[in-house]
């Protein structure tokens, strides 16, 4: 229980750190990549930027190509950003809060399991009323947070 509270606190803290990024609209990368776009906006040619980074012109060409095709390494991006007097901003921005994501996953896992149980209970005419089912779902979902079951693959449903 203590570990679960610590994890919840860690999620809340990380959510607070992520919050400023949520307000940034999705910005499309320029077609030639950020390195080229900033370099050209600064009226700097490729040879000049390559010198500032400490690489050859051919290596800078590779940086720019790799950025466009999504295979550039972060350290290369960081070096280029610094040479352009820029900061590299790198973050994962979840679509929901981390707490909401964990709870949604827990609910999915419980629903997977409840569907199998419900089928059996229905056949025996012992199915829980919807309000009790929802209460059970919520309670069980909260109880699996912090367990290995939360993100493990669901077992296949029996026919």
Question: CB within 8 A of 136, min separation 6: which ones?
Answer: 114, 128
| Count of domains forming the chain | 2
Asked if residue 39 and residue 70 are part of one domain, the reply reads yes
Asked if residue 103 and residue 141 are part of one domain, the reply reads yes
- Residue 39, CA distances (Å) to 30, 78, 136 in order: 12, 14, 58
Q: What is the CATH classification number for the domain harbouring 71? A: 1.10.260
Boundary-marking domain end, from 83, 107, 124: 83
Domain housing 68: 34-83
- pTM value? 0.73
Question: CB within 8 A of 141, min separation 6: which ones?
Answer: 103, 106, 107, 109, 110
52 within some domain: yes
46 within some domain: yes
Q: What is the pLDDT of residues 104-145, one digit of tens each?
A: 999 998 887 776 666 555 555 666 677 777 888 888 899 999
11 within some domain: no
10 within some domain: no
47 within some domain: yes
Asked if residue 135 and residue 112 are part of one domain, the reply reads yes
Q: What is the pLDDT of residues 15-46, one digit of tens each?
A: 999 999 988 888 889 999 999 999 999 999 99
């Amino acid at each position: 229980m203590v570990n679960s509270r610590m994890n919840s606190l860690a999620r809340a803290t990380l959510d607070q750190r992520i919050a400023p990024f949520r307000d940034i609209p999705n910005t499309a990368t320029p077609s030639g990549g950020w390195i080229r776009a900033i370099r050209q906006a600064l009226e700097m040619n490729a040879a000049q930027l390559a010198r500032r980074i400490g690489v050859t012109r051919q290596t800078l060409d590779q940086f720019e190509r790799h950025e466009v095709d999504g295979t550039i390494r972060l350290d290369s991006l960081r070096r280029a950003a610094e040479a352009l007097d820029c900061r590299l901003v790198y973050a994962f921005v979840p679509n929901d809060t981390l707490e909401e994501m964990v709870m949604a996953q827990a609910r999915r896992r419980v629903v997977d399991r409840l569907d199998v149980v419900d089928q059996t209970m229905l056949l025996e005419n012992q199915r829980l009323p919807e309000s009790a089912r929802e209460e059970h779902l919520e309670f069980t979902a909260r109880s699996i947070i912090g367990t290995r079951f939360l993100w493990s693959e669901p077992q296949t449903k029996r026919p």
